[in-house]
């Protein structure tokens, strides 16, 4: 039997953690929403809306035109996903190893339900996670989702870890009272910022994360 300080559930972020999808999200957002604003949106403008799901992001920029813009976003996003049809090397295998060891595996993402479903389908990962929590159009809710996982599975704080690529993920984990394992293998990873914010828990490769996790099961 595992001792109480061993992991029983590992939750993963999606964009930038499971797959190289962040730039694709930005490009699809720009293509879909820019026509409704009359100008080409910058990447910085789009990134500033991260934390909300797509509905909330688009409402923030497109205003009253958000519904047709959201419809267009899903069409662009699905079409562009043909450029990303596999997760990062080793991620699927790591998840399967965790499940083989009877570790619960969850997905906690700021993405909306539909875009999350598109990505999991394109990456051939539909049905792989025990629980999936998606984002809100009103607020960033990762900390809330992580607390809900703790309650649902009856876990102590050190029995749950979250793997995410953003500095904001570190803050969400601190708010939820759990450890954050920073994924720094995507092209978009801000390695130096992650090292400053989450020193000792930044992983440059999926293999390094796997080694860390397997020592704590």
Report the pLDDT value the prediction gives residue 1, as an integer from 0 to 100: 36
Fold of 9-20+86-214: Rossmann fold (3.40.50)
Report pLDDT digits (tens) over 10-39: 999 999 999 999 999 999 999 999 999 999
Q: What is the residue extent of each domain of the chain?
A: 9-20+86-214, 22-83
Report pLDDT digits (tens) over 202-214: 999 999 999 999 9
Cα distances from 109 to residues 19, 22, 62, in angstroms, run 12, 12, 23
Where do the H-state alpha helices sit in 65-205?
A: 66-80, 91-100, 113-122, 142-153, 167-176, 191-197
Please name which of 178, 139, 113, 150 lies closest in space to residue 52, comparing C-alpha atoms: 139
Give the chain's radius of gyration (CA, Å): 17
Question: 201 near 180, Cβ under 8 Å?
Answer: yes
Residues of the chain with pLDDT under 70: 1-4
CA angle 177, 116, 214 (to 5 degrees): 50
Look at the block and give the residue holding tokens 């079409």.
79
């Amino acid at each position: 039997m595992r001792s109480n300080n061993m992991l029983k559930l590992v939750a993963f972020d999606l964009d930038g953690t499971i797959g190289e999808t962040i730039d694709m999200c930005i490009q699809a957002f720009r293509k879909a929403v820019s026509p409704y604003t009359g100008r080409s949106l910058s990447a910085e403008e789009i990134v500033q809306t991260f934390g909300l799901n797509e509905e909330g992001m688009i409402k923030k920029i497109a205003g009253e035109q958000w519904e047709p813009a959201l419809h267009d976003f899903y069409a662009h996003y699905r079409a562009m996903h043909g450029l990303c049809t596999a997760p990062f090397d080793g991620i699927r295998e790591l998840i399967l190893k965790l499940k083989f060891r009877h570790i619960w595996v969850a997905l906690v993402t700021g993405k909306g339900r539909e875009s999350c479903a598109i990505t999991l389908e394109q990456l051939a990962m539909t049905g792989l996670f025990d629980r999936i929590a998606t984002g809100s159009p009103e607020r960033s809710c990762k900390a809330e989702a992580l607390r809900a996982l703790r309650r649902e599975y009856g876990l102590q704080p050190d029995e749950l870890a979250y793997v995410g690529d953003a500095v904001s993920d570190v803050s969400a984990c601190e708010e939820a009272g759990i450890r954050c394992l920073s994924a720094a293998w995507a092209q978009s990873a801000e390695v130096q910022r992650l090292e400053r914010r989450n020193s000792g828990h930044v992983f440059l490769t999926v293999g390094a994360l796997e080694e860390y996790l397997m020592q704590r099961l």
